[in-house]
Structure 1
Amino acid sequence: MELRPEQLVSQLGLDQPAPPPLRPAYLIAGPEPLRVLEAADAVRAAARQQGISEREVFEAEGNQREPDWNALESSFRAPSLFASRRLVELRLPSGKPGKEGAEVISAFCADPPGDVTLLITAGEWSKQHGGKWSEAIGRIGQIAIAWAIKPHELPEWIERRLRARGLRADRDAVQGLAERVDGNLLAAAQEIDKLALLSDGSTLDRQAMEELVADAARFDVFRVIDAAMNGQGAQVSRMLAGLRAEGEAVPALLGMVVLELQRGAALARVEARGGNLNAEFKAQRIWDSKQPMYRRALQRHDVRRWEAFVAQAGQVDRIAKGRGRPGLEPGDPWIALERLLLAVAEPRAARLLAGPGA
């Protein structure tokens, strides 16, 4: 049975004096990185609580595009060196183990070693990702899928998290926080953590909530870039309008925009030559939770287009610096920036880059 990550965490019984023993295998996947990360952390915590001190991690390394399946299979059957039980983690950012990997996972599930708990995490997931290998996990273990939280589900998610932090808030306050974070679970989690430190223990109403939390829905450049990389063109336009209304200046935003576009171009070059994306993610210091976003963006654009984006960012900078100065690039820098980021979000919008800047 497919669980929500929060259901899996509850089943692990971390707050119980005698929690149930771990299952032989867990699969935690989905497009909501915070929920995947926290559910995986709960499995790790449960393993430590039950005396599992040895941990092995398998992922693609060096020039490999997949984990070393032979090494993983050998590890399943090898005796533990330092402890009686082990947690073996398999990281599949794409959610697809391929034929060889599926066979290794299925073989493990057919005869799971008594000293191994297998934890598989994936950043991508859809109904098409599953197969015999995931069905095999479901028969001996647990599958938790972190589907994206829908707008009407967000208040309930926030309310559960508030209760978990020992906080109480009325419905209007919860709705206000949901409006402020605008669907960003990480921002919501951060604000709730702040509330846990600042609240006096009384039930929060909307006014108290607004006084205590920062405006997490402030349309900052980080979230604009995330929206572009995730293919959310409508959010890009709305957030840029918010930034413009707040009096931000385009040159102040471009530094981060250029950095992210250069990262995208570097990743695209590695992918084009068949190199190891995981190694490049590490070299670029891109966290695990951010990698699915970049992978989605790489599926939309090739190397030439990423390099064109970087060049276009230079043109946006010239427009911003030359506005009102004769002889420099004419146009509206906000429109130019919006066209650039919409092109990143949606390949069909790339034709906008050929248009005038105003």
Structure 2
Amino acid sequence: MELTPERLLAQLDSEALRPVYLIAGPEPLRVLEAADAVRAAARKQGIDEREVYEAEGNQREPDWNALSGAFRAPSLFASRRLIELRLPSGKPGKEGAEVISDFCADPPHDVNLLITAGEWSKQHGGKWSEAVGRVGHIAVAWAIKPHELPEWIERRLRARGLRADRDAVQSLAERVEGNLLAAAQEVDKLALLSDGETIDLERMQTLVADAARFDVFRVLDAAMNGQGGQVSRMLAGLRAEGEAVPALLGMVVMELQRTAALARVNARGGNINAEFKAQRIWDSKQPMYRRALQRHDARRWEALLAQAGRVDRMAKGRESGDAWVALERLLLAVAEPRALRLLAVSGA
């Protein structure tokens, strides 16, 4: 049976653990939380032993022979085990499909299987996933569409014991612009700051501004929009609040990778609108990226991405230099081409 992740959570509260679960989809937060719910249900039902199988090193697939053997081998430490199979591509291949199908045909009484995948589409399914559906549950975490986001936020607010009116919810939805992780973080902050009253639009804007006035999303938006002064002010605020460069750098790298991909498509005269869709960039954010693409060509975006690697090495002590200064110079260069002289960027 195919469920939404949220529906799966309700099922876990009302039934015994199924032999197998497949949780997949392009929305990482929903996949993660649904998988965490399965793990929690397993612990609640006395399953404390967990084994994880995934591709390691240069391997493209998990060790299927080892996984098959684990299904039949008795546990040395517990009466029941939860075995996790991680398939980032969502495709187990012929051998993996056979192993999964064999498990579903005759599930061991002492093993529950949790399969997670970061990609999913109609082409990913097959006899193996049909076998999962017959004895277990399939939960697909599709990306939340723009018109669905306010409802998703409202459900999450209610789950945290919060109430907000429609305008307040819409304001928060517009702020996070499709980023569920950012939305979840904002809701968690609201739970700490709220006084228990219904949150109206004015209160929402005040709470959100107080909770995240210097967050990394806004720093990146300032850089992409060419607002160098804002970049320096916000980074100073983050540093003063005790943030660490590595905690910020993941989002910076992701944004540079995304923009570099757009720049490559733009350089070869490709369909930039299709690339926006592929990158899941909302209509409201596209003008910001178009402005950024006018400031730097594809080669320079690649060079800026390489500079992020230098910042990372500085933050980890593998290269001399002040990581905060390097990060500020990198984002200033994103914002203002004249700031490129601060960097050793080839072709700048």
Matches within 5 A, 1:1-358: 1-13=1-13, 19-214=14-209, 220=216, 240-242=223-225, 244=227, 247-248=230-231, 256=249, 260=253, 309-310=302-303, 334=335
CA distance change for structure 1 residues 241 and 68 in 2, over 3 Å: closer, same or farther? closer
1:76-112 CA distance string (max 9 Å, x none): 0111211111100000111111111011001101111
> Alpha-carbon deviation of 1:210?
1.2
> Alpha-carbon deviation of 1:63?
3.0
Contact 2:84 2:113 in 1 (8 A): yes
What one-letter code is carried by the residue in structure 2 that aligns with 1:98?
A: G
Could you say what secondary structure the match of 1:90 adopts?
strand
> Alpha-carbon deviation of 1:212?
1.3
The 2-side partners of 1:78 and 1:176 are apart by 53
> Alpha-carbon deviation of 1:244?
1.7
> Alpha-carbon deviation of 1:222?
8.8
> Alpha-carbon deviation of 1:194?
1.2
Aligned length: 269
> Alpha-carbon deviation of 1:334?
3.7
Share of identical aligned residues, percent? 67
The 2-side partners of 1:22 and 1:258 are apart by 36
Question: In angstroms, what is the RMSD of aligned CA positions?
Answer: 3.8
> Alpha-carbon deviation of 1:153?
0.4
CA distance change for structure 1 residues 259 and 205 in 2, over 3 Å: closer, same or farther? closer
Q: Could you list the runs of 5+ residues in structure 1 that have no partner in the other structure?
A: 14-18, 225-237, 265-292, 294-304, 318-331, 338-353
Q: Could you list the runs of 5+ residues in structure 2 that have no partner in the other structure?
A: 237-244, 258-278, 280-297, 311-332, 339-345
> Alpha-carbon deviation of 1:74?
0.3
Contact 2:219 2:231 in 1 (8 A): no
CA distance change for structure 1 residues 82 and 239 in 2, over 3 Å: closer, same or farther? same
TM-score (norm 2): 0.67
Could you say what secondary structure the match of 2:122 adopts?
coil
What one-letter code is carried by the residue in structure 1 that aligns with 2:253?
A: E
Could you say what secondary structure the match of 2:227 adopts?
helix
> Alpha-carbon deviation of 1:216?
5.9
The 2-side partners of 1:218 and 1:26 are apart by 40
TM-score (norm 1): 0.65
> Alpha-carbon deviation of 1:60?
1.0
Comparing 55-64 and 33-42, the one that deviates more: 55-64
Contact 2:4 2:139 in 1 (8 A): yes
